[in-house]
A and B are shown apart, each in its own frame.
Chain A
Amino acid sequence: MTVRLAADGTLSLLGLCGVEDAEVLQHHLLAAPESTVEWSGCQHLHTAILQVLLIAKPRLRGVPSNPFLRSHVEPLLARKPK
């Protein structure tokens, strides 16, 4: 499980987030649309997850250490703040 729901309602994306996590993330975000997504621990983000994030546009927290995510993906998600 790389999508984790903390007690305070924060969703964390951890490690390698694969295609199978997209549905889990989608359900969490549907159940709690106001959730914040903490993704600084994310090392790989599958296109399927990106799709969910681009549609749901949750608040993001943190900056991943992976250079590709930081320099190329982060701007995509940051451009459309909710």
Chain B
Amino acid sequence: MDELLQQFLIESRELVDQATDDLLALEKAPNDAERFDNAFRAFHTLKGGAGIVEFTAMADAMHGAEDVLTAARKASAPMSTQDISNCLMCLDQVVEWLDAIQSTGVVPVGASAAAVIARLARPTTGPPAGAPPADVTDVWVQGLMTAHRNAAAQAQTAIRYRPDSRSFFRQEDPLARIGALPGLLALDVGPRDSWPMLEELDPFSCNVVVTALLAISAGDALAALGSEAHHCDVATLRTHTGASMDHSLSKQAHEVLEAQLSLLAGIGERQAPSLIASAGTVAANVLRHIGKIADADRMAATAAHCVAAHDLAGLQQAIRAALGGAPPAPAAPPEPAQARRDEGGAQTLRVDAARIDALVRLTGELIVAKNAIGHSVRLAETEGAALAATLKSRHAALERLVGELQRSVVAMRVLPLRVALQRFPRLIREMSVDLEKPATLVLEGEDTEADKAIVEVLVEPLVHVLRNAMDHGVETAAVRAAAGKPGTATIRIRAFRAGEHVTLEVVDDGGGIDVSRVREVANERKVAPEETLASMSDAEVIDLIFAPGFSTATTVTELSGRGVGMDAVRTAVKRLGGHVTATSVAGQGTTVRFTLPFSVMMTRVMTVEAGGQQFGIPLDAVIETIRVPRSSVFRIGAAQAIVFRDKTIPLVRLSQALGAGSRDDSDDASPVVITKVDGDFGALQVDRIGERMEIMLEPLDGLLGGLPGIAGSTLLGDGSVLLVLDVAELLR
């Protein structure tokens, strides 16, 4: 299965789970705006994902669900239970599709969202939730039944089919579709918009509304209508079906209840409460739908109880009891989709990046331990030869193991660049159409691997660079033709590994960077003083496009959107520990080259200010931040301490500890960061608490290597250096 589809599967499953949770929470707390927004976002993201993998049926279904949510928002009324069930049903369909993709490796061919959409759309045209299904107040239903009294006596379902005007071009023959429906009792055909004069009729434009009475259930009718179901309104008629419903379940209701049972059987030991809740909700809704209100309420209560008690069997029993009065149905075959999912469920494992980081740290410690043994070996050599030999072999074995562990752990974070690059051909295609500049994108070396953090962060800078290439670099076909170039421009993204670095080049064959124009703009926008500009070489001038405040884009485009320039690209790349440069040949094109480290380790830090300087404290060492008035600080010998949670812990004034000048005069309460390293508490008094951020920690080397109390440094977005503290050393 290709990478994109795999990613889509993982993300979609997560989104389905999230949306399910949110919908179920909404059912309990209908006014929870945050849950509502979350659910909406999940459906929207699912739709977007489906669009990317070109799964139209799913995109349509998600669109339908979005419509339901939008309608609820517009009406500023809480979602009805019916709406929620419909949305959940929509998600069930998605899961089925995802399972199909997982087992076949391709987007299901011929999948149709029609049935889902028809059900989603029903509340607006059909009976409201909880009301008896036989609400036949619709004028068209009444008209149809009056016109066909004999047929109406036998009819279970009325449908109104309004094919769109372009149906004929889709090889659709509405009359034939209705004619082919099983159990057709009566038929009417009228104009959708009033009939035109014969001479004004466009014979290829479909202008009919077909209404019909059917002797089959609404569900069967929708199924039989197939892909056209979303052009249909369906009404269930009371007259015929009412009598039999009191005593037995309809075939459809029976099937839905059976489906809940097999769903519950499938979850087995996992006992996911959300699944139990959803099965219970559906079962209750089925009963309510067929008019067994009391049974429905009982079912809902049982379900709520079972969710709370994680009692899977209880709900299964209740559903079986509900099925009890029903006509014996053939034993439901085990759901193949369910089985497939259980087998294939563990193929991909999403691991919290923090855990991987922890493993990486552990690996580092192992290496230290290994080195210590090496040291012991040297010691033992002077003591006893036999001991040395044993230790030596142990050390060798440990070395091999640690090496393997390190490689596999680092590999866990490695992804092929394709993950980031594969969306770009589409992007270029769209830009090419929008800007009317024919261009193609060629990817080279997309199998080159790099750290997950790099691959993920690269996307945005690359979008920016590609956008720039299309906006400013690539010329229109006419200009290219005049310059003797092929009409279609080629943009190449070339990736390769060079030692510990990954290089990525974006090469276009456009007009190149107009150096004199860059000089002008740099001067206008005061990016560099005029005299400096004059003395700069062309290469140096080109580098100015990365300078803050330099952006030749006169309009904010939808893709770059935020009005940031190439300086944002450079900052993003720098933050990853890489650098970006541009070269250009007038008339021949521009090359933007990213050089990035192969592997990046991210650390989360909290910034604090002390003695007028910013420092970072690794977040995993921070317990909490409090304010301590001076009066609560007491002296123990030469040191200071405070009481925190009934414990006396040492207090270190950060500015003093780092020799950065003190502000001892402050009387007011100053912020204190409570830390815990290796089980020991400590308190760091600072001047100000800053923000949390994720950084790449670089160890200090060279002259600064021996600096006490500093674990490393990182480059901040604004180009300044942030020193990250070694808390354990500071408090020692």
Contact = CB atoms under 8 A, between A and B. Distances in A.
Interface string A45-78: 1111011101110000000000010001100100
A30 B208 contact: no
Nearest to B210: A47
Contacts of A48: 168, 203-204, 206
Interface stretch (B183-191, B303-311, B314-322, B627-635): B183-191
Contacts of A54: 189, 191, 195
A29 to B, nearest CB: 6
A interface bracket (residues with beta carbon within 8 Å of B): 20 to 34
A55 B174 contact: no
B189 A26 contact: no
Interface string A12-24: 0000000100110
Nearest to B206: A47
A47 B174 contact: yes
Contacts of A50: 175, 189, 208
Interface string B202-233: 01101110000000000000000000000000
Contacts of A30: 198-199
Contacts of B168: 19, 46-48
Contacts of B189: 50, 54, 76
A22 B168 CA distance: 11
Contact of A46 (B176, B191, B199): B176
Of A19, A22, A29, the most chain B CB neighbours within 10 A belong to A19
Nearest to A50: B175
Contacts of A29: 198
Contacts of B179: 68, 72
B189 to A, nearest CB: 6
Contact of B201 (A19, A44, A52, A76): A52
Contact of A72 (B163, B184, B199, B206): B184
Interface in B134-189: 163, 167-168, 173-176, 179, 184, 186-189
B145 to A, nearest CB: 16
A22 B203 CA distance: 6
Given A46-B173, A76-B189, A55 B195 contact: yes
Contacts of B201: 26, 51-52, 55
B725 to A, nearest CB: 77
Contacts of A47: 163, 167-168, 173-176, 206, 208
A25 B203 CA distance: 9
Contacts, number: 65
Chain A CB within 10 Å, residue with most, of B173, B174, B207: B173
B175 A46 contact: yes
A72 B187 contact: yes
Nearest to B191: A54
B196 interface: yes
A20 to B, nearest CB: 9
A50 B189 CA distance: 9
A54 B198 CA distance: 10
Contact of A55 (B176, B184, B198, B204): B198
A23 B203 contact: yes
Contacts of A44: 176
Contact of A26 (B173, B188, B203, B207): B203
Contacts of A72: 179, 184, 186-187
B206 A26 contact: no
Nearest to A66: B179
A77 B81 CA distance: 45
Nearest to A75: B187
A30 B203 CA distance: 13
A25 B201 CA distance: 12
A23 B204 contact: yes
B209 to A, nearest CB: 11
Contacts of B187: 72-73, 76
A51 B198 contact: no
Interface string A25-48: 110011000000000000011111
A67 B421 CA distance: 59
A30 B191 CA distance: 20
Given A30-B198, A52-B198, A19 B204 contact: yes
A54 B208 CA distance: 10
Interface centre among A26, A45, A55 (most CB of B within 10 A): A55
A19 B166 CA distance: 12
A52 B203 contact: yes
Nearest to B168: A19
Nearest to A76: B189
* Most chain B beta-carbon contacts within 10 A, residue among A19, A22, A47, A55: A47
Interface string B392-433: 000000000000000000000000000000000000000000
B657 to A, nearest CB: 86
A45 to B, nearest CB: 7
A76 B187 CA distance: 8
A72 B191 CA distance: 17
B195 to A, nearest CB: 5
A72 B203 CA distance: 22
Nearest to B178: A72
Contacts of B188: 76
A23 B197 CA distance: 14
Nearest to A68: B179
Contacts of B204: 19, 22-23, 48
A54 B262 CA distance: 50
Question: Residue among B175, B179, B189 with the most chain A CB within 10 A?
Answer: B175
Contacts of A19: 168, 173, 203-204
A47 B173 CA distance: 6
Contacts of B206: 47-48, 51
Contacts of B207: 51
A61 B206 CA distance: 25
B150 to A, nearest CB: 12
Nearest to A57: B198
A26 B179 CA distance: 23
B225 to A, nearest CB: 15
A45 B175 contact: yes
Given A29-B198, A48-B168, A73 B175 contact: yes
Nearest to B188: A76
B198 A26 contact: yes
A14 to B, nearest CB: 17
Nearest to A25: B203
Q: Which of A30, A48, A56, A73 has the most CB of B within 10 A?
A: A48
A55 B495 CA distance: 65
Interface string B289-309: 000000000000000000000
A35 B203 CA distance: 19
Contacts of B176: 44, 46-47
8 contacts: A23-B204, A26-B203, A44-B176, A47-B175, A54-B191, A68-B179, A72-B184, A73-B175
Given A26-B198, A48-B204, A52-B203, 6 more contacts: A19-B173, A47-B175, A51-B201, A51-B208, A55-B195, A72-B186
Interface of A: 19, 22-23, 25-26, 29-30, 44-48, 50-52, 54-56, 68, 72-73, 76
Among all A-B residue pairs, the 3 with the closest Cβ atoms: A22-B203, A47-B175, A72-B187
